[in-house]
Amino acid sequence: MDKNVRQSKKSWMTKEILTNAIRDSFKKLNPKEMIKNPVMFVVEVGFIITLVLTVFPDLLEKNGNALYNGIVSAILLVTILFANFAEAVAEGRGKAQAESMKKTKKDTPAKLLDKNGNVKILNSNEIKKGDIVLCETGDIIPNDGEVIEGLAFVDESAITGESAPVIKEAGGDFSSVTGGTRIKSDRLKIRITATPGQSFLDRMISLVEGASRHKTPNETALTTVLVSLTMIFLIVVAALYPMADYTGVRISVSTLIALLVCLIPTTIGGLLSAIGIAGMDRVTRFNVIAMSGKAVEACGDVDTMILDKTGTITFGNRLAAEFIPVGRATRETIARFALIASLKDETPEGRSVIELAARQGINIDKSEYDKAENVEFTSQTRMSGLNLPSGAQVRKGASDTIQNHVTGLGGVIPKDLQSSVDKVSRLGGTPLVVCIDREIMGVIYLKDTVKPGLVQRFERLRQIGIKTIMCTGDNPLTAQTIAKEAGVDDFIAECKPEDKIDVIKREQAEGRLVAMTGDGTNDAPALAQADVGLAMNSGTTAAKEAANMVDLDSDPTKIIEVVEIGKQLLITRGSLTTFSIANDVAKYFAIIPAMFTIAVPQMNVLNVMGLSTPQSAILSALIFNAAIIPALIPIAMRGVKYKPMSAQAMLAKNMLIYGLGGMIVPFAGIKLIDILINPILKALNLG
């Protein structure tokens, strides 16, 4: 992402967005577009009727006032344009970001490898799913894929905006690569996993542009309420005409239309779509891609958050800090066999064991172990090591797993093993037990650190009623220590992938919405099961496809901020809806007395604002109704400021600010407009 685009994140409005939004506001006047927003479509119909009455003032009534009809028509047009402008601004922000992404999406040369390993140069759009391509230093990766051979630094700034390259390698959770990113060093063989036009970048562009945006369930429900209110007021206003005629009051069609437009929820009707688009946009600008607006909205309703310990709650760089001998083993013995067990372990933990042994002066001839069979760690076996050519088995792993392994071979558990394991666990570290065949040598103390500030962040979540559950493969004592230090509500120790699914289903069965993060293939089922699944961009393709959100920065703690953005979206929509409906009270006191005071002088008691003339009152209310929409656009774009608090406190605050404020502001605004326009209306003989 280039510098200009990154800077544009700081502002919700730029000159380019403003220019495009003004143009699009007129384009959206097309009835085919307006019908998507029923409330504003009614306003457009009213505009068309008053426009016709401006040209043919006597069409529906005798002695119609063309000038008055024209002014009402002009104000209605401005109201529609302001509503269209709000939506166009929201869309424009997304389109601006999409344009920067499109710059990275271009036909690039791709090095296709055939079955014999020969390289054939093709355009990237000719590469098919399943093809194997070679990418070397400086090459742009032609499409999404999985690394099947090699290790290299990849520049993902085109996607994430961050200049620091990331490591991609075959196997594990960092094998997924994205089309449009560039190889900074070394080379990779990549199996393409996406067809042209359906890559992750393509989907990002489509989502950011809004082409794939559909109304969320809450948005649809609110639209239904707004349409119902509009229909009710339409019936009420239509019934006023014969009632007024019966009492001898002459009400022009333009006045009735003005009353209808002021009473229907035009404010929220004009801003509703913009609020939804801006909510997705805020998530996107936070470097999270939401696969749908429903996913963002679901974040606001989350009750339970599932968090991995490693990399989320702790830094994840568990490094060997100490070798603790047990039984008859010495410190040198445990260090030696820990080193042997880690020779082919390419994880950070494995490399740290080798480094610690070297610092302690333990040296071995690594060539002696070239033919040793590597036993990789899995979530099921929970141990790794080497099978030596001599037949000996050297293992390191979780305490219970190694104990079962040793006792299964007829070995005896040292009496001081459990105390050493407990000591490491109480320190918040991870104990790895080392054995050779049926003899346990000792414990490796892997030290990890809880990320600063998490206690306060989890307390914030607790204040808004969100329960946090930490999942970890550590033993219960270590898990308990870390959970207490971090401040999470609950934890699951010795957690396997299926355990995550079980806890998600359990929480959902109790009526809760669940969010979780993940990056590995084994996280995919749980990500799919969760109501909000946030996958890391550095993770596997399976994880990203299973989730409904992708974090481009691959920061597992970002789920906390994403949930708060979802809360902000719901609060913004609710607050502006409250404000919009409260607005109608003032408009009622402005227009109704103005319509009936001439024939029924007693109605003047309702003219609490002391508005000058009936025409001035009606037009003042109509002008305020139009002006309030652009005044609220910044709130719709940025969102209502969110602070963690209980639902009751939040409701009380919003009712005070947006409910009571929604009634007070129109009284002051309409009165001010009346003072300003009354001399003008008198000059036009409309006063």
Residue 31: exposure state from Cβ atoms within 10 A (0-12, 13-18, ≥19): exposed
User: Beta-strand (E) ranges in 137-280?
Assistant: 145-155, 166-169, 176-177, 182-183, 187-192
d(CA 418, CA 297): 48
- In this predicted structure, the answer to whether residue 124 has a pLDDT above a threshold of 90 is no
Determine the 3-state secondary structure of 444 from DSSP: strand
Spatial contact of 654 and 578, defined as CB atoms under 8 Å apart: yes
Spatial contact of 384 and 397, defined as CB atoms under 8 Å apart: yes
Is the C-alpha dihedral spanning 646, 648, 649, 654 positive or negative? positive
d(CA 503, CA 499): 6
Report the run of H or E that residue 47 belongs to, with start and end. helix 38-55
HSE-CB at 480 with a 13 A cutoff on CA atoms is 7
- Tens of pLDDT along 10-29? 455 677 778 888 898 999 99
HSE-CB at 206 with a 13 A cutoff on CA atoms is 12
Numbered residues of the known binding site:
345, 349, 377-384, 396, 519, 523
Closest CA to 145 of 103, 113, 100: 113
| Total Cβ atoms within 10 A of residue 218 | 19
| Total Cβ atoms within 10 A of residue 191 | 16
Catalytic residue from among 139, 155, 281, 308? 308
Bridge pairing between strands 532-536 and 549-551: parallel
450 DSSP assignment: B
Distances, alpha carbon 69 to alpha carbons 47, 590, 615, in Å: 10, 19, 11
Closest CA to 185 of 151, 141, 160: 151
Closest CA to 444 of 354, 381, 353: 353
- The residue type found at 382 is R
- Tens of pLDDT along 541-572? 777 778 888 887 777 778 888 888 888 888 88
- Tens of pLDDT along 140-168? 888 888 888 888 888 877 666 555 677 88
Spatial contact of 666 and 267, defined as CB atoms under 8 Å apart: no
| Total Cβ atoms within 10 A of residue 546 | 20
Report the run of H or E that residue 119 belongs to, with start and end. strand 119-123
9-18, 114-123, 401-410: least confident range: 9-18
Determine the 3-state secondary structure of 663 from DSSP: helix
Query: Which pLDDT score, from 0 to 100, does residue 231 have?
Result: 93
Bridge pairing between strands 467-471 and 304-308: parallel
Give the dihedral of Cα atoms 103, 105, 109, 110; nearest 10 deg.
150
Numbered residues of the known binding site for Mg(2+):
519, 523
222 DSSP assignment: H
- Tens of pLDDT along 346-378? 887 888 999 999 999 998 888 889 899 999 888
Arithmetic mean of pLDDT, 497-507: 88
- Residues sharing a CB contact under 8 Å with residue 58, sequence separation 6 or more, in sequence order: 64
- The residue type found at 415 is K
Percent above pLDDT 70 for the chain: 90
Spatial contact of 124 and 111, defined as CB atoms under 8 Å apart: no
Q: Distance between terminal CA atoms of the chain?
A: 57
Arithmetic mean of pLDDT, 498-527: 86
Determine the 3-state secondary structure of 151 from DSSP: strand
Residue 371: exposure state from Cβ atoms within 10 A (0-12, 13-18, ≥19): exposed
The token duo for 159 is 């996607």
Percent above pLDDT 90 for the chain: 27
Confidence of residue 8 (pLDDT cuts 50, 70, 90): very low
- Beta bridge partners of residue 536, listed in sequence order: 551
d(CA 544, CA 521): 9
**Annotated catalytic, 308?**
yes
Query: Which pLDDT score, from 0 to 100, does residue 134 have?
Result: 92
User: Beta-strand (E) ranges in 288-429?
Assistant: 288-290, 304-308, 319-325, 373-375, 383-387, 393-397
d(CA 365, CA 218): 66
60-69, 171-180, 317-326, 657-666: least confident range: 171-180
- Beta bridge partners of residue 436, listed in sequence order: 394, 439
HSE-CB at 537 with a 13 A cutoff on CA atoms is 29
Sketch out the chain's domains with CATH numbers.
Answer: 15-95+208-284+564-684 (no CATH), 109-207 (2.70.150.10), 304-313+452-552 (3.40.50.1000), 315-449 (3.40.1110.10)
Task: Compute the mean pLDDT over every residue in the chain, rounded to the nearest whole number.
Answer: 83
195-199, 251-255, 613-617, 637-641: least confident range: 195-199
d(CA 79, CA 277): 20
2-6, 325-329, 539-543, 682-686: least confident range: 2-6
Largest Cα–Cα distance of the chain, in whole Å? 112
Arithmetic mean of pLDDT, 468-488: 86
- In this predicted structure, the answer to whether residue 457 has a pLDDT above a threshold of 70 is yes
Query: What's the pTM?
Result: 0.66
655 DSSP assignment: I
16-20, 69-73, 343-347: least confident range: 16-20
- Residues sharing a CB contact under 8 Å with residue 668, sequence separation 6 or more, in sequence order: none
- Tens of pLDDT along 32-61? 889 988 999 999 999 999 999 999 988 877
- Residues sharing a CB contact under 8 Å with residue 486, sequence separation 6 or more, in sequence order: 313, 314, 450, 454, 455, 458, 470
Centroid of chain to Cα 215: 16
Numbered residues of the known binding site for ATP:
345, 349, 377-384, 396
